[in-house]
Structure 1
Amino acid sequence: MAVGAIAAVVLPTLPTIVPTAHAYESHYQEFYTPPAQLPTAQPGALIRSEPSRLVLEPSGQLGAYVATGTRIMYSSTDARGNPVAVTGTYFEPDNPWPSDGPRPLIAFATGPYGLGEQCAPSRMFNQGIHFSQGFDLMFGYEEGFIATMVARGFAVVVTDGVGLGIPGAIPQFLNRLAAGTALIDAARAAQKLPDTSLESDGPVAFWGWSSGGQASASAAELASTYAPELSVVGTWSGAPPADVAALLPYIDGNLLAGATGYVLNGIVASYPETGEALAGTLTPRGTQMVTWSRSICTLQSVANYAFRHLEFWFNTDLYELVGSDPLKGLLDAQRLGTLKPRGPVMISTNRWDSFSPWAGSHQLAVDWCNKGADVELWTNEQPPFLNKLSINHLLPYFVDGERGMQWLADRFNGVPATSNCSEL
């Protein structure tokens, strides 16, 4: 909470912009507001939990999760290792685990949903679709994966990530350390929940696509030292932004150009001392974009900022800014591939991904292979199509997600992974 408050001060605020979405979320305030004094327990400790309604769409009548939902708040650590409260949802399957051994747990990091507190995935599971005003519209676009996982007997815990959903906080978006620890601690918290079918030492796997792919990859890298007690059997990472700085040419003029505001807000939320300097690099249009990005979800961001060129948001050369400190050092710190992952990893990406480039995923696989990891790089060969719409970033997730789920099922069933390191 303190980091979010500082970041809100150092990033410029436009008084003419008064987001009203939070008024529609007032019934969430009590649960999502962390206690004034966080527990001194180890990361992954449960702070509170309550039953959570699970729906695929607002009425709850058109299909259903075959699972029982529990909203959780648990302790974790942020970008600098400070204690922080994080929220999420645990899915207890109605169906039994059909194979031998204890029920497995998938710790799931979502792709980008936006920075506004109303965008938190754990709130989407209650609503199916969120709408308050304008284009403040959001839905759980990954709910089909989770519904399939629980139907197959996997337990699933979905983290909101550091800051998302917490009133007054700014999410530490695309911060490697915060993303990884929040996902790991979600798994720890789920295994501590009472009255579930999980065992405290049962098998765990990490899953994530896009920004969630960064989180799952980071969790795999951090698990050996941060959570040596977890029985991590595998990690699926879809289109991970392994090198954040390398995204710039792809974000420019993209449907998802508004992600620039997410990244800048994430940097300042993680490292508040950068706020004043970064604010000084913004044009008035850039100031508006960064400020408004803190209050909206992804669809609103697309409606406001699709296909914008980055040069109009900055009063200095952006590539020079990114190529010099302090920003260069901060972005370099987000690079994946510097640590050996725990357990086998599957990276799934498209050859012509127009948002998170294939070259970054390939280099991540090479870096991990060079460290002796068990890595399978799966390349989707869907040809490039309307690049600035990021179709080659979005569509392969839904094409290859089934492959990823089967890959995890094999890991839980003790089937040896097949590495293709020798072919990279």
Structure 2
Amino acid sequence: MRSEVPPVIATFDGSSGAGTPFHRRHRRRRAGVARLALATAAALTATLVAPVWSVPHARADDRMYEAFYTPPEPLPAGAPGDLIRTEPSRLALEPSGQLGSYVGTGTRIMYRSSDAQGNPVAVTGTYIEPDVPWPGNGPRPLLAYATGPYGVGEQCAPSRLFNQGIHFSQGFDLMFNMEEGFIATLLARGFAIVVTDGVGMGVHGPQSPQWLNRVASGTALLDAARAAQRLPDTSLKPDGPVAFWGYASGGQASLSAAEQAATYAPELRVVGTFADAPVTDVAEAIPGIDGNFFAVLAGYLLRGIIAAYPQTEQAVRDTLTPRGLQMLDWSGRTCLLQGGVDYAFRHLQFWFNTDLTALVSNDPFKSLLAAQRVGNLTPTGPVYITHNRWDPLVPYQPARQTALDWCARGADVQLWTNEQPPLLNKLDINNLLPLYVDGERSIQWLADRFNGVPTTPNCGQL
């Protein structure tokens, strides 16, 4: 989406009301919610918590990206994974670029891929060439990486956050490159990395990301791997080993890539796939969004459905109340933390004019959501899934069922269950923290795949 916002940000009932007592109360409440959420992430100081509604006219600060991120029209002829354009990309762990650094060189890429309905699209991302040698066996490995949700506004794209470390604009439009620690660590250990923005994310234009679409998420990651192997002047071999990594919605992408690899990108030498807290059944994940700090994810999901299946837009809008329509439109302009603050702990029914349970239980939404399930096709290569048993946002049981279904198909699957007990459920501690707690175990599993170490599937114990 374009980053401009209206001169006055609307209240929940659609009025401007920036100076009303109602508005001021919610401004104070939202600032408090922001401090609580950011403290749990140990990532912000209170000085960054600015009033959400006090900006008379705001614009994201990254118009400098528009030239690169605007796809050519029409797209040049080519095949999925072909590069459209590239340019050097500054890599920064934080905005000044002075506190630590990546041991690698970044290249921003735009490449051809396929969307949810098989149409050719331009997708952006970042390739990082390590400065250090690969210490393991064989040629340098390539890790195709899909992040969790960073927001829906184009300014929130992971490839832009690599330049900034922290994105901050529009009053409180804030997002961290929250997985940069993993990427920097993997890079320092000799992995080449390509991070995709995903279909519809980052590119400049009116579209939204095709978020949580099983097909689009997998093809974008597979084609990112192809694009990286086609870049000139890298240490990669065209037929070198590839693995996939993803967290949450990125976990859906990595597992989907493993499922689609055999038919969509059979030339890739896939040696393994890792996913933490993957969304393997979107319908089963909806209850976890209800009343959550990240209730804005409902807006991302609706926008993703509309982007992937444009014919559903009017049907989606017809189910929403005026406040739901405001949420749908505004959620497309901002990054995850502002979205969290704006709609913290909202119940989903608040936005719908019909019973939500009945809505998702009947077509067309039932079939659309069922089509996003991961686990119906046999993955290529071994798969390692980690998940907290008590994850309040992305439920554990659907991921376990995906593992069981793949085991029944003869796949090589290992499921690691994190048993961290429930803590502050609506702030998603049990979704966010286990990724970091189990990070070293996950990295080692990937290194073992590239080094040819035998796997340890646990299908018999699930």
TM-score interval, smaller chain: over 0.9
CA shift at 1:160, angstroms?
A: 0.3
Which of 167, 173, 177 lines up with 2:215 in the alignment? 177
SS at match of 1:24: coil
| Structure 1 unpaired stretches of 5+ | 2-13
| Structure 2 equivalent of residue 368 of structure 1 | 406
Looking at structure 1, the residues matched to 132 and 419 of structure 2 have their Cα atoms a distance apart, in angstroms, of: 35
| Percent identity for Structure 1 against Structure 2 | 68
Within 5 Å, give how 1:151-230 maps onto structure 2.
Answer: 151-168=188-205, 169-230=207-268
SS at match of 2:145: strand
1:330 is the counterpart of 2:358:
no
SS at match of 2:452: coil
| Residue identity opposite 1:236 in structure 2 | F
| Structure 1 equivalent of residue 66 of structure 2 | 29
CA shift at 1:135, angstroms?
A: 1.3
The alignment's C-alpha RMSD in Å is 1.5
Q: Are the counterparts in 2 of residues 56 and 143 from structure 1 also a CA contact under 8 Å?
A: yes
| Structure 1 equivalent of residue 44 of structure 2 | none
Q: Are the counterparts in 1 of residues 388 and 430 from structure 2 also a CA contact under 8 Å?
A: yes
| Residue identity opposite 1:326 in structure 2 | P
CA shift at 1:40, angstroms?
A: 2.2
TM-score normalised according to structure 1 size: 0.95
Which of 40, 50, 54 lines up with 2:87 in the alignment? 50
| Structure 1 equivalent of residue 173 of structure 2 | 136
Within 5 Å, give how 1:274-353 maps onto structure 2.
Answer: 274-353=312-391
Which of 121, 142, 166 lines up with 1:105 in the alignment? 142
Q: Are the counterparts in 1 of residues 137 and 450 from structure 2 also a CA contact under 8 Å?
A: no
| Structure 2 unpaired stretches of 5+ | 2-13, 17-52
SS at match of 2:438: helix
* Cα deviation 1:182-218 (Å, max 9, x = unaligned): 0000000000000000000000000000000000000
Large movers: runs of 4+ above 2 Å: 14-23
SS at match of 1:73: strand
Which of 439, 443, 458 lines up with 1:401 in the alignment? 439
In structure 2, the CA distance between the partners of 1:344 and 1:172, relative to structure 1 (3 Å rule), is same
Looking at structure 1, the residues matched to 340 and 366 of structure 2 have their Cα atoms a distance apart, in angstroms, of: 27
Q: Are the counterparts in 2 of residues 19 and 295 from structure 1 also a CA contact under 8 Å?
A: no
Which of 395, 406, 410 lines up with 2:448 in the alignment? 410
| Structure 2 equivalent of residue 8 of structure 1 | none
* Cα deviation 1:335-358 (Å, max 9, x = unaligned): 000000000000100010001111
Looking at structure 1, the residues matched to 286 and 385 of structure 2 have their Cα atoms a distance apart, in angstroms, of: 21
| Structure 2 equivalent of residue 10 of structure 1 | none
In structure 2, the CA distance between the partners of 1:22 and 1:75, relative to structure 1 (3 Å rule), is farther
CA shift at 1:133, angstroms?
A: 2.2
Looking at structure 2, the residues matched to 219 and 346 of structure 1 have their Cα atoms a distance apart, in angstroms, of: 14
Q: Are the counterparts in 1 of residues 60 and 155 from structure 2 also a CA contact under 8 Å?
A: no
Task: State the aligned residue count.
Answer: 412
Q: Are the counterparts in 1 of residues 58 and 171 from structure 2 also a CA contact under 8 Å?
A: no
Which of 278, 295, 298 lines up with 1:257 in the alignment? 295
Report the more deviating stretch, 334-343 or 38-47.
38-47
TM-score normalised according to structure 2 size: 0.87
| Residue identity opposite 2:201 in structure 1 | L
* Cα deviation 1:5-56 (Å, max 9, x = unaligned): xxxxxxxxx8979997655211101100001111221100000000000000
| Structure 2 equivalent of residue 11 of structure 1 | none
In structure 2, the CA distance between the partners of 1:341 and 1:28, relative to structure 1 (3 Å rule), is same
